[in-house]
Structure 1
Amino acid sequence: MERKVNVIEDLNGKKTVFIHDILFKGKRAVNWDEVEKYLRQYVGEFYQIEDCNKMIYIGSDLPDEYTHSNYTRILKGANAKAKANAAQGLPELLKIATNEVYEDNRKEKHSKDAKCGWYSYDSRFALPVFGDDGEIKRYNVFNVAMLVRHDEDGKYYLYDIMKIKKRNEQSFPVK
């Protein structure tokens, strides 16, 4: 499936992943099974974070965790749709991620898959807002935390994206 995604750097050097298409839409709720199916295309791939040069792998657990995590279950409305559509830009979101923060493993259930702890990174993406005529009016910008687990095999695996927050003070109008 062709992705309509690119990275744009602003005058301050801050990068944003622009996702130009809304694949997962609906008046009421996101079809998370469709998002999970979409995410399977990334399994086995890996991407390098430019800020720290770490290689982040996409494991077979990502599609299920991304779509059925406790965090995903509590999402409603615009944030749920933002997370669903952010799936289109995961490679670029990892590439531009910054502000690495390490945290020890706190849950027994992760004693094997995150034996060496967790890392989180900040990233951001923009989604289009369409007018009644079907044309893009502007883009809304969202900040997000990329959660990465450090496995006992020494590799880093994308686990989920969390802390999705729309930046109210900034949207990019389309001319």
Structure 2
Amino acid sequence: MGRDIIIKKDIKGKRIAVINNIHFAGKRMVDWDNVKEYLKAFVGENHRVEDTDDIIYIGKDLPNEFTGSLYTYKLKGAVAKAKANAAQGLPEIIRIAAHRHFRENNSEKHYRNAALGWYRYDSRFALPVYREDGGIERYNAFHASLIVRHDENGKMYLYDMIDIKKETGNPLEL
């Protein structure tokens, strides 16, 4: 699947990753197996967060965690589809991430892969809303938190995307 993602500034000057195609569409539920397969293409890549110069790696655990986490399991409707389609724009969503927060690792489950703790970044993305004739009517903007684990090897790995919320008010104006 081709990628058509651009980074723009909204009318308030805030950066947003605009995803111009809906690859994971459907009337009912998201096919998370297809999303997982799509994410595997990113494994091994790394992307720089412009605000902090942090390098975020895409590790082999991301496809399973992104599609199979408890957070993802609980998602329904538009937010589930937003997370699935945000997978297309992960490089850009990482690039524009901001407001890094640190948390100690308090879980034995992650004593190795998050030995140096966890980071959370805020980011934004937009998805098209289509008219009946197939043209784009508008874009809906979403906020998301990127969860990044700081491995004992010193590298930072994207672990999941959570707390996805549609931004209220007017649809995105570019």
Do the two structures share a fold, i.e. TM-score over 0.5? yes
Counterpart of 1:52 in structure 2 is: 52
Counterpart of 2:95 in structure 1 is: 95
Between the aligned partners of 2:140 and 2:13, the Cα distance in structure 1 is: 19
Contact 1:149 1:159 in 2 (8 A): yes
Number of residue pairs matched by the alignment: 174
Counterpart of 1:142 in structure 2 is: 142
Contact 1:137 1:173 in 2 (8 A): no
Counterpart of 1:26 in structure 2 is: 26
Between the aligned partners of 2:172 and 2:51, the Cα distance in structure 1 is: 25
Between the aligned partners of 1:10 and 1:83, the Cα distance in structure 2 is: 20
**Residue pairs, 1:1-175, within 5 angstroms:** 1-172=1-172
Contact 2:102 2:119 in 1 (8 A): yes
Output the aligned Cα RMSD. 1.1
Contact 1:141 1:170 in 2 (8 A): no
Between the aligned partners of 2:172 and 2:11, the Cα distance in structure 1 is: 14
Contact 2:11 2:173 in 1 (8 A): no
Q: Provide runs of 4+ in structure 1 moved above 2 Å.
A: 10-13
Between the aligned partners of 2:11 and 2:136, the Cα distance in structure 1 is: 23
* AA partner of residue 36 (structure 1): K
* AA partner of residue 154 (structure 1): G
Between the aligned partners of 1:86 and 1:38, the Cα distance in structure 2 is: 11
Aligned-residue offset at 1:11: 4.6
SS at match of 1:169: coil
Aligned-residue offset at 1:13: 2.8
SS at match of 1:126: strand
Between the aligned partners of 1:168 and 1:37, the Cα distance in structure 2 is: 31
TM-score w.r.t. length of structure 1: 0.96
* AA partner of residue 135 (structure 1): G
SS at match of 1:168: coil
Between the aligned partners of 1:127 and 1:20, the Cα distance in structure 2 is: 7
SS at match of 1:121: strand
Deviations along 1:4-57, one digit per CA (max 9) or x if unpaired, are 100001354310000000000111100000000000000000000000000000
Deviations along 1:46-88, one digit per CA (max 9) or x if unpaired, are 0000000000000000000000001000000000000000000
Between the aligned partners of 1:20 and 1:38, the Cα distance in structure 2 is: 17
* Distance verdict in 2 for CA 1:173–1:56, change over 3 Å: closer
